[in-house]
Structures are given as C-alpha cells and as structure tokens.
Amino acid sequence: MALVTSKQMLLDAQKGGYAVGAFNVENMEMVKAVIAAAKELQAPVMLQTTPSTVKYGSLKTYQALVAAEAEKAGIPVCLHLDHGSSFELAVRAIQAGYTSVMIDGSHEDFEQNIALTKKVTEVAKACGVTVEAELGKVGGKEDDLEAEGDTNTDPAEAREFVERTGVDSLAIAIGTAHGFYADTPVLDKERVSEVKSLVSIPLVLHGASGLRDEDIRECVQRGMCKVNFATELRVAYTEAGKKLIAENPDMFDPKKMGGVGMEAVKELVKNRILVCGCDHKAK
C-alpha cells in the first residue's frame, strides 16, 4: 500500500475512541520493526523523523525506506515530519514525499505561532498533505529545542488557534515532557477533555515515553487520537545491541546488531499499539 496521510486514520481514531501510535525512527531497522509490528497487529501506523534525524540521513532517504516497507505491508502507513522547526523544512518534507508534517511554533508567541502554522497549512493542503501543530509547551528536550517548564494549553486559545490556522491535528500540553521522566509526571488529564469539548480536530499527545499504560489509556479515552513514542524506542534498540556485544565481545557483524535491535523495537511497538487500542483497526 502506498503511503497515506494521517487525516483519515486520525478521524477514524477520533470516532472509534482509540489512538494511532506514532513512532520515531532513526534507521532502516527501526523502520522495518515499526511496520512489522503494525502489520502483525493490523494497525494503522505513523512513522516520524525529527529534524536531527533528517540531518543524520535525509528526507529522501527516509521517505524511500518507509515507502518501500509500506508497499509490502498492506496496512495504512503515514510518514510524518515530527517537530518541524521551520517553514522551509516543512516544505522540503512535502516535496520529498512525506504525507504529513508538523510545524512546531510552540516556542513562538500565540500570534507568531498562528502565522507560521497557517503559512505551512496553506502549502500542505494545496499538496494534499496533512498538518499537525502544537499549542502550549511540552517540557523536556526534543532535538535541539528545550523547554524549561511546561505551559499547559489554554482550551479557549486552542479553539481560536484551530479556527484561524485550519490545521488537521493539534498537539496540546498537559504536563508531559520529551525524554524520560525524572519524577512521576502530574498530568492535567481534565484539560484533554476541556480542549476536546471546544476543538473538533484530533488531539495529539507528545512525550509518552515513560508514561504509565493507564495514564496513556485515560488520555486516549478523554480524546487523544495520536500518541508519540520516541525515547523508549531508541533505548530499546541501543540496549539490545549493548547486550549482544557484552555476551559476544568478538561479534563484528552489524546485521546481527541490527537484528536484535529490530526485534526489541518490534516488541515494544506491539505493546504500545495495544495500549493505544489501534490493533485490528487497519482499513
């Protein structure tokens, strides 16, 4: 199946009361692992690359990898630019064949965020590509951007933001953070319900790595339709390789390292798909 946009899969999730898992990938092995897990559980899936991942490879490289694996999978697969840092990068991703882009203007003030998001949305929609934006600040570090503290999303501002930008989905801040948590996070889950009551488009949860399964499930029940997982996938992949080398110090075949990393990521992704409730929702 050819790559699809996130629009229908997220609308289906919104209607069905589940969330689509969105997984950050860094290399071929992680791409294959995520799609294999989704195929096994017959789940729609989103694969994401951040600006630093794109810099490590290239937009065209990741597009080719994901498109090739999606073609064989027979399930809906969306390739998404995560935390797009500029208008120019978002446009280049669209030109490279990404089917969804995020423009992250959350570090700007409200009006500047609207202006940037609207500019990207106009270009993307003309090309048939969906757009995710962010309002409020999710703590922690994502690529080279770091938020000192959390500023949770104001529901009234969310409604105005969506109306003025025309975005397809909106990431909101409720107390989550990128990376792993030093302490147990205090999530404002009621805010998800409040924003959902005022905003018609699907909502997105960032910073899910390290959250308790029950917290993710409640956020989904309250209205989150897409859940992002990144850090924990990197850890699973790396730890599997470390274990293999520790047990086999004379091993020098990178395919074996990639293989154990791939299997570790696949099993984690399957777990996260089940937590999001999107298994057997492929259409």
d(CA 227, CA 220): 8
102 domain-assigned:
yes
Give CA 113 to chain center in angstroms.
20
Binding residues for dihydroxyacetone phosphate: 179, 207-209, 228-231
Binding residues: 83, 104, 134, 178-179, 206-209, 228-231
Average model confidence (pLDDT) for the chain?
93
How confident is the model at residue 146, as a pLDDT? Answer: 46
Q: At 222, which CATH number?
A: 3.20.20.70
Q: Is the dihedral of CA 155, 159, 160, 164 positive or negative?
A: positive
For the cut 60, the answer to whether the pLDDT of residue 195 exceeds it is yes
Q: Are 185 and 176 in contact, with CB atoms under 8 Å apart?
A: yes
Determine which of 10-19, 104-113, 173-182, 213-222 has the lowest per-residue pLDDT on average: 173-182
pLDDT-based confidence at residue 175 (cuts at 50, 70, 90): confident
Q: What is the number of domains present in the chain?
A: 1
pLDDT-based confidence at residue 97 (cuts at 50, 70, 90): very high
Global pTM reads: 0.93
Cα→Cα distances 174→16, 38, 80, 193, Å: 22, 27, 22, 11
Strand locations in 106-263 (E): 130-135, 139-142, 145-147, 169-172, 177-178, 203-205, 224-229
Determine which of 37-46, 47-56, 130-139, 142-151 has the lowest per-residue pLDDT on average: 142-151
Sheet holding 145-147, edge to edge: 145-147, 139-142, 177-178
282 domain-assigned:
no
249 domain-assigned:
yes
Catalytic, 82? Answer yes
198 domain-assigned:
yes
Binding residues for Zn(2+): 83, 104, 134, 178, 206
Point out the catalytic residue in the list 82, 154, 215, 279: 82
d(CA 74, CA 55): 29
Helices (H) and strands (E) in the chain, counts: 11, 11
**Which domain does 67 fall in, by range?**
7-276
2 domain-assigned:
no
For the cut 70, the answer to whether the pLDDT of residue 197 exceeds it is yes
Mean pLDDT for the stretch of residues 216-222: 97
281 domain-assigned:
no
53 domain-assigned:
yes
pLDDT 10s digits, 136-171: 866 554 455 444 445 899 999 999 999 999 999 999
d(CA 36, CA 267): 10
First to last CA, the chain: 11
Indicate the helix (H) or strand (E) that contains 82. strand 77-84
d(CA 126, CA 115): 17
